C-alpha cells in the first residue's frame, strides 16, 4: 500500500476503516438532513474512517413519494448537497450520500461520491423495484435510460455520471464502487461486475423497509455478495424519521468482508448511529490472486468490463503517525470458533471427517485392525478417539484398535496411567512394550555415552527412543494384519516438531495431520464435556487436557518452552498459511488479539497465554518463521495420506502446500525485524 508510520497503526498493515451512518432524517427537509450528515462525517473523521456511506435518498428521505416531482424539493436537495460539500471540505474522508437528481428531463435516484469539497462522481440506481410496497418507476428512471455520462451540478462541470464508475484511491491502491438498494437483490448485481473490474470495496445506499424476517435475509445477502466478489461490502439502510404512512424502518447497517459479517448496527435504535469496521485489504487481494477462477471470470466478462470508467480520488495517505488499533481484533484461536454453538458444530464435523477418512482407508485396504502408539498426551488421545469411532462406524469391535503404550527413559507414570485408563474406558485392546532394553542396545551399538550411564540427553538420545517406538508399531501392524495410524498434528508438522521417519511423522494413515494443536485440545474438551465416550473416558480426557505438553524423551522436557505457546503459533500458522500475510502484519494482528488477554474461547482444562507483549510475539514468531520456512519442509514433503479438515489449510505435499525443501527464511525474518521489541516504540 505504500503507507508507512507507527507499527501500531492499522493503515500501515493493509487495513482501511469504513463507516456507515444512519442519521436523523426529516421527510422533505434537505437542509436539516445535510446538517445531520455533516455532523456524522465529522464524527467518522475523528474516529479515522476513510469512507462513510449514508442511506438511499438520504438528503430528501426515501419516502417522499410524489414529492420527488416537486421542483422545490429537487432544488433543496441540490442546495443541501452544496452545503454538505462545504461543511466537510477539510475532512480526510470520502462521503457517499443519496439524493434525487434530474438529468436531461429524467429523474434519477443517485449516490453522490464526494471529498475535499468536490463531487467525484454520481451513480444512478440501475434496478428500480415496482412490486409489493415499491413504486420507484413512478418517480425515477433507471440508470440504463441515461443518455449522458457527464453532468453539470452547481459550479462543477463534467462530473462523471453512470453505474459503471470505479473510484480509485491511489494512496491506498484501492478501488471502490457504489450501488443502490435493489441493485443488490437482482441475479447479477452491478457490484459483481464492479468487483471483476477491480473494485475491492463495495458500498450500498439502501432504504429497505423493515418486515418480519427481512433482517436475516439482508445479512445473508450482504455476506454472500462480499464472498462472491471477494470484497468488502458496506450496506446502510434508512432508519427512524422516514415516513411511516405504510412502512417502518429499522436503520440496518452491515459491514462484511469476504463472507464474514464484521459489524452490524442496532436495528430500531434512535438515530444517529455510526457503524465502523476495519477491512483487511491485503486479505481480499490475496484471495483474488489465489482463487484463479476469479481471473477466469474477469476474462469471460472482459467486454462488459471495458465500460467502466476510473475516477481518481484525491485524498492524501492516512495519518499513520499515531497508535490506531483494530476495532474488530482477530480471534486468538482462528481455527476454533468463539461461539459455543459453532464450536460444537465445528468439532463434530472435524471428527466426522477424520473418522470417514480412516473408515474409507480401512475398507479400501480390507484391513480391520489399527495399531497406534498411545502416550497419554493430546495427539494420541485424539487419534485413539477417532479409531474407536471408526470401529463403531464399521460395526467392528473396539478391540480391533490395538493401543500400544511404549514407555521410554522419561515416560512419567501419570502419562502411562492416562494412556492405560483411556484404552480400558474405550474398550480397546491394550498392548505395552517397554522400549528401554532395545534403546539401550542401540545406544551401545552407537557407543553413545548414555549407554554407560552418562546424562547426555542429545538428539540421538531422543531419536533412538522415537525410532524404536516406530519400529515396534509397524512390526505390530505386520503381525496383527493392521494399519498404523499416525498421531502428529498440523502444528507439529508446521514447526518441524517431529522426528523424520518415525511415529510422529510416519504412518500408514494419519488422522490428525491437518488438525492444529488448539483444535486438538478443543476436540478432546468437547468429547469430555458431552460424555461422548462415557464418564470414565471423560475423566481421563480432562486430565489429558490439564497435562503439560511434552514428548517425554528427556527429563523435564516441555514442547512449548522450545517452540513457543501452541495457541500463539497456531495463530501465526493460520495467518501465514491461509493468507500469506507479512510477518510484521501477523505480529500486529497477534498484538491486537493478545494485548489485553483477548476473548478466546476457553473450554474447561485448556491452558493458553492470557497476555503477550509485542516482544514475546516477535520472539515466538521468529521461531516459527525459521522452523517453518527453512528447517522443516523436507519432513513435510513425504507425509503419509491424511484427510484435510478445514479451509485454514493443510501441509500435504499433494494438496494445499507445495514448497521446495531447501528454501530460506531470510525475507520473512527481514520483515519481522521491522517489528519493535517493546510497546511504545
User: CA–CA distance from 584 to each of 30, 246, 436, 448, 613 (Å)?
Assistant: 47, 54, 46, 43, 14
CB-CB contact of 398 with 360 (8 Å): no
Cell numbers standing for residue 167: 473510484
CB-CB contact of 467 with 502 (8 Å): yes
- 181 is known as an active-site residue: yes
How far, in Å, CA of 15 to CA of 1, rounded? 10
CB-CB contact of 174 with 325 (8 Å): no
CB-CB contact of 627 with 498 (8 Å): no
Catalytic annotation, pick one of 24, 64, 77, 125: 125
Catalytic annotation, pick one of 24, 37, 56, 77: 56
What is the full DSSP assignment across 577-631? Answer: HHH---HHHHHHHHHHHHTT-------TT----S---HHHHHHHHHHHHIIIIII
CB-CB contact of 77 with 100 (8 Å): yes
What is the full DSSP assignment across 388-451? Answer: HHHHHHTT--GGGEEEEE---TT--HHHHHHHHHHHHHHTPEEEE---HHHHHHHHHHHT-GGG
Specify the pairing of strand 106-115 against strand 118-124.
antiparallel
Computed from CA positions of residues 602, 608, 611, 615, in that sequence, does the dihedral angle turn out positive or negative? negative
**Residue 180's beta-bridge partner residues?**
205
Q: Phi first, then psi: what are they for 254, rounded to 5°?
A: -140, 145
CB-CB contact of 86 with 37 (8 Å): no
CB-CB contact of 518 with 567 (8 Å): yes
- Residue at grid coordinates 464508475: 165
- Beta-strand runs (E) in 48-205: 51-53, 94-103, 106-115, 118-124, 150-153, 156-160, 165-169, 174-180, 201-205
- The total of other beta-carbon atoms located within 10 Å of residue 288's CB is 20
How far, in Å, CA of 426 to CA of 421, rounded? 9
- 517 is known as an active-site residue: no
Catalytic annotation, pick one of 110, 115, 181, 498: 181
**Coil, strand or helix: which one is 126?**
coil
Q: Return the active site residues.
A: 56, 125, 181
Amino acid at each position: 500500500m505504500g503507507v508507512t508510520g507507527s507499527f501500531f497503526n492499522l493503515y500501515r498493515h493493509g487495513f482501511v476503516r469504513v463507516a456507515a451512518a444512519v442519521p436523523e432524517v426529516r421527510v422533505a427537509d434537505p437542509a436539516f438532513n445535510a446538517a445531520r450528515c455533516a455532523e456524522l462525517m465529522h464524527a467518522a473523521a475523528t474516529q479515522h474512517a476513510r469512507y462513510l456511506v449514508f442511506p438511499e435518498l438520504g438528503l430528501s428521505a426515501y419516502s417522499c413519494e410524489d414529492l420527488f416531482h416537486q421542483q422545490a424539493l429537487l432544488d433543496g436537495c441540490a442546495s443541501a448537497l452544496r452545503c454538505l460539500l462545504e461543511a466537510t471540505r477539510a475532512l480526510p474522508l470520502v462521503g457517499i450520500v443519496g439524493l434525487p437528481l434530474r438529468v436531461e428531463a429524467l429523474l434519477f435516484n443517485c449516490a453522490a461520491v464526494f471529498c475535499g469539497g468536490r463531487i467525484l462522481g454520481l451513480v444512478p440506481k440501475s434496478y428500480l423495484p415496482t412490486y409489493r410496497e415499491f413504486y420507484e418507476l413512478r418517480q425515477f428512471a433507471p440508470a440504463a435510460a441515461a443518455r449522458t455520462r457527464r453532468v453539470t451540478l452547481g459550479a462543477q462541470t463534467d462530473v462523471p455520471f453512470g453505474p459503471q464508475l470505479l473510484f480509485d484511491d491511489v494512496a491506498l491502491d484501492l478501488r471502490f464502487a457504489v450501488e443502490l438498494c435493489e441493485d443488490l437483490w437482482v441475479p447479477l448485481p452491478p457490484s459483481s461486475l464492479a468487483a471483476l473490474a477491480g473494485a475491492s470495496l463495495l458500498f450500498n445506499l439502501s432504504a429497505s423497509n423493515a418486515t418480519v424476517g427481512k433482517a436475516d435475509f439482508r445479512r445473508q445477502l450482504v455476506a454472500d455478495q462480499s464472498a462472491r466478489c471477494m470484497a468488502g461490502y458496506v450496506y446502510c439502510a434508512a432508519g427512524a424519521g422516514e415516513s411511516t404512512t405504510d412502512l417502518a424502518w429499522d436503520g440496518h447497517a452491515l459491514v462484511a468482508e469476504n463472507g464474514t459479517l464484521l459489524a452490524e448496527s442496532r436495528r430500531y435504535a434512535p438515530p444517529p448511529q455510526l457503524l465502523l469496521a476495519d477491512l483487511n485489504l491485503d486479505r481480499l487481494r490475496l484471495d483474488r490472486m489465489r482463487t484463479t477462477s476469479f481471473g477466469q471470470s474477469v476474462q469471460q466478462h472482459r467486454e462488459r468490463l471495458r465500460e467502466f470508467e476510473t475516477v481518481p480520488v484525491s485524498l492524501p495517505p492516512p495519518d499513520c503517525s499515531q497508535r490506531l488499533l483494530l476495532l474488530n481484533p482477530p480471534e486468538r484461536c482462528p481455527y476454533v470458533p468463539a461461539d459455543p454453538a459453532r464450536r460444537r458444530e465445528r468439532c463434530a464435523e472435524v471428527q466426522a471427517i477424520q473418522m470417514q477418512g480412516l473408515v474409507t482407508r480401512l475398507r479400501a485396504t480390507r484391513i480391520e485392525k489399527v495399531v497406534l502408539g498411545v502416550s497419554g498426551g493430546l495427539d494420541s488421545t485424539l487419534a485413539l478417539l477417532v479409531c474407536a469411532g471408526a470401529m463403531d462406524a464399521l460395526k467392528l469391535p473396539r478391540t480391533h484398535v490395538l493401543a500400544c503404550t511404549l514407555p521410554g527413559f522419561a515416560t512419567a507414570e501419570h502419562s502411562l496411567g492416562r494412556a492405560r485408563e483411556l484404552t480400558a474406558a474405550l474398550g480397546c485392546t491394550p498392548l505395552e512394550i517397554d522400549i528401554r532394553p532395545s534403546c539401550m542396545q542401540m545406544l551401545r551399538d552407537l557407543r553413545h555415552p548414555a549407554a554407560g550411564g552418562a546424562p547426555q540427553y542429545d538428539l540421538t538420545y531422543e531419536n533412538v527412543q522415537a525410532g524404536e517406538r516406530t519400529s515396534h508399531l509397524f512390526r505390530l501392524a505386520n503381525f496383527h494384519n493392521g494399519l498404523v495410524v499416525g498421531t502428529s498434528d498440523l502444528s507439529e508438522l508446521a514447526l518441524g516438531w517431529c522426528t523424520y521417519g518415525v511415529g510422529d511423522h510416519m504412518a500408514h494413515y494419519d488422522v490428525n495431520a491437518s488438525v492444529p494443536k488448539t483444535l486438538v485440545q478443543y476436540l478432546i474438551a468437547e468429547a469430555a464435556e458431552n460424555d461422548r465416550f462415557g464418564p470414565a473416558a471423560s475423566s481421563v480426557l480432562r486430565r489429558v487436557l490439564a497435562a503439560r505438553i511434552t514428548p517425554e524423551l528427556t527429563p523435564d522436557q516441555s514442547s512449548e518452552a522450545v517452540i513457543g505457546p501452541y495457541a500463539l503459533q497456531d495463530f501465526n500458522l493460520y495467518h501465514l498459511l491461509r493468507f500469506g500475510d507479512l510477518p510484521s502484519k501477523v505480529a500486529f494482528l497477534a498484538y491486537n488479539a493478545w494485548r489485553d488477554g483477548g476473548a478466546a474461547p476457553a473450554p474447561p482444562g485448556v491452558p493458553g497465554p492470557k497476555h503477550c507483549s509485542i516482544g514475546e510475539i516477535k520472539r515466538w514468531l521468529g521461531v516459527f518463521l525459521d522452523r517453518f520456512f527453512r528447517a522443516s519442509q523436507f519432513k513435510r514433503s513425504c507425509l503419509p495420506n491424511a484427510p484435510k479438515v478445514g479451509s485454514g489449510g493443510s501441509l500435504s505435499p499433494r494438496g494445499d502446500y507445495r514448497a521446495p525443501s531447501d528454501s530460506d527464511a531470510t525475507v520473512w525474518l527481514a520483515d519481522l525485524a521491522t517489528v519493535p521489541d517493546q510497546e511504545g516504540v
